[in-house]
């Protein structure tokens, strides 16, 4: 039921809950937050007190709060620059375990993931299955209480440091391609996993290709039912797109630990500062661009709240694709505006840039292209929006109902 449809008493009660939780967070921060103190210990205390993920169930480090109340908590933490909040929005690993993991998996992983004590990566894309993830051919074969995995993955961010990878693989070749998949937390530090780095044009080496040769994963690390991996994947992707729809530098799959990660300023705020620094705030073209960026970012933040409200545990929301696509365009626009403000200095890398400001780490044009690919390409998001939001007809998929073994790609 939307806010518009709710009776007045229900709206008032929800508003009172938001006020109460905001006041509770403010009081807790006043007692526990010390900018000079042990940040890791503070984050652990915030997790155990339910402030890191307030919208989660109280049995799993939450407070059974509404999305509006959770947003209020994030605002209170951001106001004092305290880390640790917002993980019910940003931690796609823990959200996926919470939605589909057994109680045993939740006990083993949820708190550790919130603390970033377990490093994760995504084992989705393959050389022949990028945009069409349902076409993956990496295979898992049951062997007692374990599965034996063979195949290749690519564009694996953080694979070289990960402890586990969220793996989508094929466990039944006789089923149609969307129905024969399963989803696992695969241990990365084993002999059957080879990680090779891929160097980007930016100089980064965060992407990898991963070769799986008789790698093993326990059935206790399976999320969802055998053969139901596509549903788990869709939920995980929805969380990823929701996070990537947030245009702040600290969003998405941030490599920093929770105690280092504080909600950063949005691009319009950052670039207003750069415009002031460069003496361009009186330029009408720059002012118009900054205002356009602010409007786009604000509208997309509203869309993010809408998507999060629809994203109940264990489901997916096409609205997240709308936000992710918008985010991609916003960051391209922000990168272009940044280059315009920096002028010739914008051609320098961050180490050689003016005043040692690492502008390139935030909105530079090279990294903006990643946002059009990660979490599903812009083209895939347009397909999802067209089909699931606008009701347009799907593209023909003649192989959708065939056993995967009989599809054309396997002939």
Together in a domain, 264 and 383: yes
14 is catalytic: no
Please identify which of the residues 240, 260, 263, 395 carries the catalytic annotation: 240
Domain boundary among 90, 109, 144: 90
Q: What is the pLDDT of residue 351?
A: 57
Which pLDDT score is estimated for 323? 80
**CATH number of the domain to which 267 belongs:** 1.20.140.10
Residue 361 has pLDDT above 50, yes or no: no
Instruction: Clarify whether residues 157 and 177 are in a common domain.
Output: yes
| Mean pLDDT of the region 121-143 | 91
Same-domain pairing of 257 and 344: yes
Say whether both 242 and 385 belong to one domain.
Answer: yes
Taking residues 295-308, report their average pLDDT: 79
Looking at the fold, whether 385 and 261 belong to one and the same domain comes out as yes
Angle at 244 between CA 315 and CA 93, to 5 degrees: 55
Token code pair at residue 207: 């992407």
Contact between 338 and 346 (Cβ < 8 Å) = yes
Looking at the fold, whether 73 and 190 belong to one and the same domain comes out as no
CA torsion angle 274 277 283 284 (round to 10): 40
Q: Please give the residue that has the higher pLDDT: either 360 or 95.
A: 95
Same domain, 225 and 244: no
Dihedral, CA of residue 383, residue 384, residue 386 and residue 391, to nearest 10: 140
Task: Collect all residues with Cβ–Cβ distance below 8 Å to 355 and sequence separation of at least 6.
Answer: none
Residue 401 has pLDDT above 70, yes or no: yes
Predicted local confidence at residue 310, as pLDDT: 66
Instruction: Report the C-alpha gap between 332 and 373 in whole angstroms.
Output: 12
321 near 241, Cβ under 8 Å?
yes
- Of the candidates 331, 344, 335, the one whose C-alpha atom is nearest the C-alpha of residue 375 is 331
Does some domain include residue 111?
no
Token output for 257: 């630990």
Same domain, 271 and 329: yes
E strand map for 199-301: 207-218, 222-223
pLDDT of residue 380: 82
Asked which of 75, 90, 105 is the last residue of a domain, the reply is 90
User: Do residues 46 and 33 lie in contact, with contact meaning Cβ atoms separated by under 8 Å?
Assistant: no
Domain boundary among 52, 72, 90: 90
Q: Answer with the residue of higher pLDDT: 5 or 268.
A: 268
Q: Is the pLDDT of residue 367 over 70?
A: no
* Distance between CA atoms of residues 298 and 73, nearest Å: 19
Q: pLDDT digits over 302-352, tens only?
A: 777 777 666 655 556 677 788 888 888 888 888 888 888 888 776 665 555
Confidence of residue 387 (pLDDT cuts 50, 70, 90): confident
**Residue 249 pLDDT greater than 70, yes or no:** no
- Indicate the pairing of strand 139-143 with strand 146-154: antiparallel
Average pLDDT over the chain, rounded to whole? 84
Q: What pLDDT was estimated at residue 239? A: 79
CA pair distance 29, 32, nearest whole angstrom: 5
Residues 226 and 243 in one domain: no
Q: What is the pLDDT of residues 159-202, one digit of tens each?
A: 999 999 999 999 999 999 999 999 999 999 999 999 999 887 66
Question: Is 377 part of a structural domain of the chain?
Answer: yes
Whether residue 344 sits in one domain with residue 245: yes
Of the candidates 259, 297, 255, 315, the residue with the CA atom closest to the CA atom of residue 83: 259
Residue 26: inside a domain: yes
pLDDT band of residue 2 (cuts 50, 70, 90) is very low
Same domain, 213 and 280: no
In a domain, 395, yes or no: no
User: What's the pLDDT at 124?
Assistant: 95
Count of domains forming the chain? 3
For residues 338 and 117, the model is more confident at: 117
pLDDT at 6: 53
Question: Is residue 107 included in any domain, yes or no?
Answer: no
**Domain CATH for 205:** 2.40.110.10
Kindly report the number of other CB atoms within 10 A of residue 16's CB atom: 10
Residue 100 maps to a domain: no
Q: Please say if the pLDDT value at position 360 is more than 70.
A: no
Q: What does the chain come to in residues? A: 411
381 plus 253 within the same structural domain:
yes
311 found inside a domain: yes
Structure letter (DSSP) for residue 396: P
Lowest mean pLDDT among 44-53, 115-124, 233-242: 233-242
Tokens representing residue 243 in the block: 């996070």
Mean pLDDT across the stretch 381-385?
Answer: 85
Find the domain containing 221 and state its range.
120-231
How many CB atoms neighbour CB 163 within 10 A? 14
The region of weakest confidence among 84-98, 110-124, 140-154, 251-265 is: 251-265
Does residue 109 belong to any structural domain of this protein?
Answer: no
* Helical ranges in 254-396 per DSSP H: 267-277, 284-310, 319-342, 360-363, 365-368, 378-384
């Amino acid at each position: 039921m939307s806010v518009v449809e709710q009776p007045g008493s229900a709206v008032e009660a929800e508003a009172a809950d938001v006020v109460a939780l905001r006041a509770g967070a403010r009081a807790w921060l006043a007692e526990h937050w010390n900018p000079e103190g042990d940040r890791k210990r503070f984050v652990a205390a915030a997790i155990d007190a339910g402030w890191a993920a307030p919208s989660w169930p109280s049995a799993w480090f939450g407070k059974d709060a509404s999305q509006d109340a959770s947003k209020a908590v994030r605002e209170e933490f951001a106001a004092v620059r305290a880390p640790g909040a917002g993980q019910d929005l940003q931690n796609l690993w823990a959200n996926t375990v919470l939605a589909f993991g057994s109680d045993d998996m939740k006990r083993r992983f949820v708190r550790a993931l919130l603390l970033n004590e377990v490093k994760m990566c995504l084992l989705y894309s393959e050389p022949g299955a990028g945009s069409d993830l349902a076409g993956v051919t990496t295979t898992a074969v049951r062997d007692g209480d374990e599965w034996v995995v063979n195949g290749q993955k690519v564009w694996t961010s953080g694979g070289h440091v990960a402890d586990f990878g969220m793996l989508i693989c094929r466990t039944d070749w006789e089923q149609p391609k969307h129905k024969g998949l399963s989803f696992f937390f695969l241990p990365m530090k084993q002999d059957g996993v080879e990680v090779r780095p891929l160097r980007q044009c930016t100089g980064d080496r965060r992407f990898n290709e991963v070769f799986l040769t008789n790698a093993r994963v326990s059935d206790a690390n399976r999320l969802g039912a055998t053969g139901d991996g596509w549903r788990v994947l869709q939920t995980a992707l929805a969380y990823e797109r929701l996070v990537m729809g947030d245009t702040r530098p600290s969003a998405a799959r941030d490599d920093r630990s929770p105690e280092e990660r504080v909600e950063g300023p949005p691009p319009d705020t950052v670039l207003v500062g750069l415009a002031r620094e460069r003496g361009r705030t009186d330029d009408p073209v720059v002012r118009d661009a900054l205002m356009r960026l602010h409007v786009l970012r604000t509208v997309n933040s509203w869309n993010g709240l809408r998507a999060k409200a629809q994203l109940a545990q264990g489901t997916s929301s096409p609205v997240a694709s709308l936000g992710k696509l918008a985010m991609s365009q916003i960051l391209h626009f922000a990168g272009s505006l940044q280059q315009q403000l920096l002028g010739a200095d914008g051609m320098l890398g961050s180490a050689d840039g003016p005043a040692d400001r690492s502008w390139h780490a935030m909105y530079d044009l090279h990294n903006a292209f990643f946002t059009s690919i990660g979490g599903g390409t812009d083209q895939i998001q347009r397909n999802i929006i067209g089909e699931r939001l606008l009701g347009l007809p799907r593209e023909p998929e003649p192989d959708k109902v065939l056993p995967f073994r009989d599809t054309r790609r396997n002939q």
